[in-house]
Structures are given as structure tokens and as C-alpha cells.
Amino acid sequence: MAASDTGIRASAPGRVNLIGDHTDYTGGLVLPMVIDRETTVTGTWIEEPRWTIRSDDMAEPATFSVPVVDPAAVRPPWARYVAGVIAEFENLGAVVPGFEGEVRTTIPICSGLSSSAALEVAVARIILQASTASFAPTEVALACQRAEQRATGVPCGIMDQLSIVSGRRGSATLIDCHDLSIEYVDIPDSIEFDIRFVHDRALADSAYAERVDQCAAIEEEIGPLRSADVDVLSRISVDVLRRRARHVISENRRVRDFTAALRSADVVTAGDLMTKSHWSMAHDYETSTPEMDRAVEAALREPDVFGARMTGGGFGGCIVVMRTKRSRSASVE
């Protein structure tokens, strides 16, 4: 490929999860939607087998040779997301040429809006422009999920990558994380979702991995959480595991009910389910923080708000608020 092949460009949006958090890694239901903030990678193919990407948000550029041998060893750490995606596509048979360019993003970093997944998907879309093989959207999402897991060591689920790869502006994406099937859910005209940043995420990686382990321990005791009902809770002997299971089981139910409520434009029921989801995460799953709880309570005191909850992995980040429509459909304040 010649260095004069200029003008390579690919983008991917961030996502907000409307409801269904910490359900994806047990094959449950999630309902995210893409937002009006995105990450864009631009650059040129080069002869040398090396990737170099600069970012105004990062002190050091991501630079490493291709093929990628060990993405987890690449420095600086943000380069691991890029190298991880390349390594995954190389494993799938793609031949990835050298590239030089830059990345820009309007997605706030470390705020639970999937800036890392957006970077992964944008890099994947760059790679696909050089590839003769084609990949289904689900394969792209799974490759990006594996890249994130290898880059960070965190056993994340599929929600972020799949919602970004398959999202449509203005609709939410109902994902069954067991069979990866997707349905689009229209947002009623009368409402919109505000995304409000509360504080940076802290200790998120270790606490996330602990929740994943706890769910695995629960499933050893009672079988798959995705198909469990609340009557199994009495069989779980350890209190903390019983509460974790109650969140996951009730959250899957809330995703179903919220989807039905949106489809029938029952915004009062939908808002109530969002708020219940927040308190389930705060009390049973313990992924909220006092500041996030206060932000939810403050939002609920506003006259045109129907419901509010923290969104994403938790331990900081953003809350999502469902309110009477002012102008746009999903925006970061």
C-alpha cells in the first residue's frame, strides 16, 4: 500500500446505557443507545510496518510495530487498546499495514460513556478499510471486546462494543447478551435522556472483576442467572451473593419491562424502572457512590424528570436522566 493513499478516516460514537447494567457478562439483557459524541481516527497508510497515532488528550503517542506480538506489553497504556484491536484482527487473518495518524474524541474519558470501546471500534473500522476479508458486526464487536480485555485485564462484557458497532442514532438497542441478538427500540417523542457527569470513575477495574467473580460463584450454586427467577434467592447462603443475584435477576426483568413501557410510551413506568434500577445498583450491587446517589436524588426533584440512574460500570462516571423533551434526544451536559 502506498504512502500516498491519504485520507483514511473512521469514527465511532460513545454509548449511554439506559437500563440493564452488570447483566451482560452473565448473558442477560441490556438497553444502551449511542450518543452524539464520537471518536475519530484519521491518517494515512505507510510502507513501514508500524502504527503511530497521536492524541491531543494524551502526553505520549501510541506507537508500535505490526504484526502486534503482545498488546498488553505496549506502552503507553492507552496504546494497548489500539494494539489490542490490531492483534485481534491479525488473529482473524487480517493483514494490517502500517499507519500514521491521529485520534480526536468528543467523548469524555473515564466517565462511563465507553470512550475506550469507541476508540477500539474506530480502529477496527480503519483496519477494515485495508482488509479484503469482511467481518460481521458481531465479529467486530467480539474482537474489540477481546482487545479491551487483553489491554486492561478487565473481564468486561459485550455491551459497549456491540452497542457501538450496531447502534442507530435516536433508537435504543436491546441486546440479548446470551445469543447477541438485537432489537431497536424507538424513543417516544415526548422524552429525552440527559447524561450528567458526576465524578471520575475510581477503583472501577478491580471492583468490576470482583463482581464478575461473584456472579460466577452464584451461577455455580444456582445455574444461569439470565434465566433465574427471584425464588432462587433463598437458596443462596452468602448474604452478599444473594444481593448481587437479586440485582442481576431483577435488572433483567426491568430491562424487559422498561422496553415494553417505552414501546407503549408509558414514560411514568419507564422512569420509575430507571430509578429502581439505580437503587438496586446502589444497595444490592454496590456500584454507586454517595455523589452519584445525590445526583440521582437531585435530578428526581426536577419537575420534568421521570427517572434517573447511574449508567455503565459505576464507581463514578455519569447518571442518565429521563425527562420531558426540550430539543435533542441524547446529549452529554
Binding site for ligand GLA (CB under 6 A): 17, 21-22, 24-25, 156-157, 159-160, 312-313
Q: Which is nearer to ligand GLA, 100 or 293 (CB)?
A: 293
> 21 near 281, Cβ under 8 Å?
yes
The one catalytic residue among 21, 160, 272, 293 = 160
Place of cell 441486546: 175
Provide the minimum distance between the beta carbon of 23 and ligand GLA in the complex, in angstroms, as a whole number.
Answer: 7
Quote the DSSP letter at residue 229. Answer: -
Angle CA 266–227–315, to nearest 5: 70
Strand partners, 9: 42
Give the C-alpha distances (Å, rounded to integers) separating 15 from 34, 35, 36, 251, 297: 4, 5, 9, 19, 23
The nearer residue to ligand GLA, 84 or 312, going by C-beta atoms, is 312
Choice between 1 and 217, CB closer to ligand GLA? 217
Q: What is the CB-side half-sphere exposure of residue 319 using CA atoms within 13 A?
A: 29
- Closest CB 22 distance from ligand GLA, rounded Å: 5
Nearest distance from residue 24's CB to ligand GLA, in Å? 5
- Closest to ligand GLA by CB, 25 vs 78, is 25
Instruction: Report the residue number, 21 or 38, with the smaller CB distance to ligand GLA.
Output: 21
Q: How many CB atoms lie within 10 A of CB 289?
A: 19
| C-alpha–C-alpha distance, residues 16 and 8, integer Å | 27
Q: Any residues with CB less than 8 A from the CB of 301 and at least 6 apart, and which?
A: none
Least distance between ligand GLA and beta carbon 159 (Å): 4
Min CB(285)–ligand GLA separation in Å: 10
User: Is position 24 annotated as part of the catalytic site?
Assistant: no
DSSP secondary structure of 57-80 = TSSS-EEEESS-S-GGG-SSTTHH
DSSP for 267-309 reads HHHHHHHHHHHHHHIIIII----HHHHHHHHHHHTSTTEEEEE
Q: Among all residues, which ones are annotated catalytic? A: 160
